[in-house]
C-alpha cells in the first residue's frame, strides 16, 4: 500500500505543471482571428508562452515591410500583460530603436479580459495610425507632426537599410 502511494506521488511530481497563463493563452490562440497580413511562428513548438508575430502591412507608411514582434506571455497571464518587443529595426514614433513598443493595452490599459487578439489589433493600428502624441521615438514623432512627406521618405529610406 505504501509503495502504491509512493508511485502516485512520484508520478505527480513527474507530471508537468500547467500554469493558468498557459491555459488562457491556449484559449486565446483557439479564438485568434489573424488578419491576412499577419502570421505566427513558434521558435519552440513546445513553448506556447513565447512566439513571434510576423506583420506585413498592406497599407500606410510601412507598406511592404516585414516586422517581427516577439511575444512573451507571463505565467500569471491574463492578470499581467504580455511582453512584446519589435525585433525588426524600425523608424516609428511608438517603437524605439531597441524594439520597445508604446501601446496602451500593454501598459496601464491592460485588463484580464483583453486577449492576444486585442494586442495584435493594437499593433496593426500603430502601423495605420502612428501616435506622435505618446512617442518612444521622439525624433520620429516630431518629424511626423512637422512634415509627413519627409517622415514618409525617412521611413522608406530606413526600410531599405539606410539609417
First CA to last CA distance, the chain = 71
DSSP state of 100: B
Largest CA distance in the chain: 80
Place of cell 513527474: 14
Dist. CA 82–CA 48, nearest whole Å: 12
102 is catalytic: yes
Query: 112 and 28 in contact (C-beta within 8 Å)?
Result: no
Q: Which of 68, 88, 64 is nearest to 152 (CA)?
A: 64
Grid cell digits, residue 62: 510601412
DSSP state of 27: H
Q: Which of 53, 102, 123, 144 is catalytic?
A: 102
Grid cell digits, residue 83: 511582453
Which residues are designated catalytic? 102
Amino acid at each position: 500500500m505504501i509503495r502504491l502511494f509512493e508511485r502516485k506521488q512520484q508520478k505527480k511530481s513527474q507530471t508537468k505543471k500547467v500554469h493558468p497563463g498557459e491555459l488562457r493563452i491556449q484559449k486565446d490562440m483557439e479564438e485568434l482571428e489573424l488578419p491576412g497580413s499577419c502570421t505566427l511562428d513558434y521558435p519552440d513548438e513546445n513553448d506556447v508562452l513565447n512566439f513571434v508575430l510576423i506583420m506585413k502591412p498592406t497599407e500606410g507608411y510601412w507598406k511592404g515591410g516585414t516586422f517581427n514582434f516577439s511575444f512573451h506571455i507571463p505565467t500569471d497571464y491574463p492578470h499581467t500583460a504580455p511582453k512584446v518587443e519589435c525585433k525588426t529595426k524600425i523608424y516609428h514614433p511608438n517603437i524605439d530603436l531597441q524594439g520597445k513598443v508604446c501601446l496602451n493595452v500593454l501598459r496601464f490599459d491592460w485588463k484580464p479580459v483583453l486577449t492576444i487578439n486585442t494586442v495584435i489589433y493594437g499593433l496593426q493600428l500603430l502601423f495605420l495610425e502612428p501616435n506622435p502624441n505618446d512617442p518612444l521615438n521622439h525624433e520620429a514623432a516630431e518629424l511626423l507632426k512637422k512634415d509627413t512627406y519627409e517622415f514618409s521618405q525617412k521611413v522608406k529610406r530606413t526600410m531599405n537599410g539606410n539609417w
